[in-house]
């Protein structure tokens, strides 16, 4: 399966595309960082981000989109922009008719390094190794996006099926 991962941010939004199957090393397809100018007005920035993500989804035709879940404990100054960017990322996947899954940073770290407490350097090193890249992806936002995509390849399919089954059970016979 091919997965497009998004590390949401308003100023820098990481995007990573990988292909693979659970339990085997993934293959790098591409990675990007979408930048928006902090000096521009919010509508223009969200529009640029939406168009860029929509274009990347159309170009790479992933089977699923994985987006990092944002928490309000983050840096208060930037958290609202990050939350808005994550909404745009989730929407870009949903508008393309793709399954979209969100993961917490700990889930991604645990999936990729085996430890939910891994630091940024460990994450980047593992992503570089897992994708057999000649050097670490730069900037780091791209590494985080690739880690999200790897996490979804390894965990996502199963989790989505479980979530779908739970959803069906919850709704019972009503729909």
Residue stretches of the annotated binding site: 7, 68, 141
Q: How far is the CB of 67 from a copy of itself (least distance, A)?
A: 9
Q: How far is CA 8 from the centre of its chain?
A: 7
CB atoms within 10 A of CB 102: 18
Q: Do residues 108 and 18 touch, judged by C-beta distance below 8 A?
A: no
Total residues contacting a copy of itself by CB under 8 A comes to 31
Stretch binding a copy of itself (CB under 8 A), from 13-21, 46-54, 111-119, 151-159: 46-54
The four Cα atoms 4, 108, 114, 129 give a dihedral, to 10 degrees, of: 40
Q: Does 135 bind a copy of itself (CB under 8 A)?
A: no
Q: Which residues are CB-neighbours of 87 under 8 A, at least 6 positions away? A: none
CA–CA gap between residue 112 and residue 57 (Å, rounded): 23
Q: Would you say 84 or 128 has its CB closer to a copy of itself?
A: 84
Kindly tell me which residue out of 61, 71, 114, 161 binds a copy of itself, with binding defined by CB under 8 A: 71
CA distance 72 to 36: 22
The pattern of x and - marking residues 96 through 115 that bind a copy of itself according to CB under 8 A reads: ---xx-x-------------
Query: 50 vs 63, which CB is nearer to a copy of itself?
Result: 50
The answer to the question of residue 3 lying near a copy of itself (CB under 8 A) is: no
Catalytically active residues, by annotation: 7, 68, 141
The β-bridge relationship of strands 64-68 and 12-19 is unpaired
Give me the half-sphere count of Cα atoms (radius 13 Å) on the Cβ side of residue 38.
7
Determine which residue in the list 50, 122, 125, 128 makes contact with a copy of itself, applying CB under 8 A: 50
> What x/- string results for residues 138 through 167 when contact with a copy of itself is judged by CB under 8 A?
-------------------------x---x
């Amino acid at each position: 399966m091919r997965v497009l991962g998004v590390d949401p941010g308003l100023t820098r939004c990481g995007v990573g595309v990988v292909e693979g199957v659970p339990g085997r090393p993934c293959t790098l397809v591409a990675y990007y960082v979408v930048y928006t100018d902090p000096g521009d007005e919010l509508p223009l920035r969200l529009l640029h981000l939406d168009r860029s993500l929509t274009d990347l989804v159309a170009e790479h035709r992933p089977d699923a989109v994985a987006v990092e879940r944002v928490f309000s404990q983050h840096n208060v100054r930037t958290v609202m922009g990050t939350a808005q960017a994550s909404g745009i990322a989730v929407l870009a996947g949903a508008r393309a008719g793709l399954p979209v899954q969100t993961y917490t940073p700990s889930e991604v770290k645990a999936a990729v390094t085996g430890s939910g407490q891994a630091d940024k350097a460990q994450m980047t090193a593992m992503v570089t190794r897992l994708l057999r890249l000649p050097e670490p992806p730069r900037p780091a936002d791209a590494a985080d996006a690739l880690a999200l995509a790897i996490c979804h390849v390894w965990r996502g399919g199963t989790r989505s099926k479980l979530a779908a089954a739970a959803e069906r059970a919850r709704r019972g016979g009503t729909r």
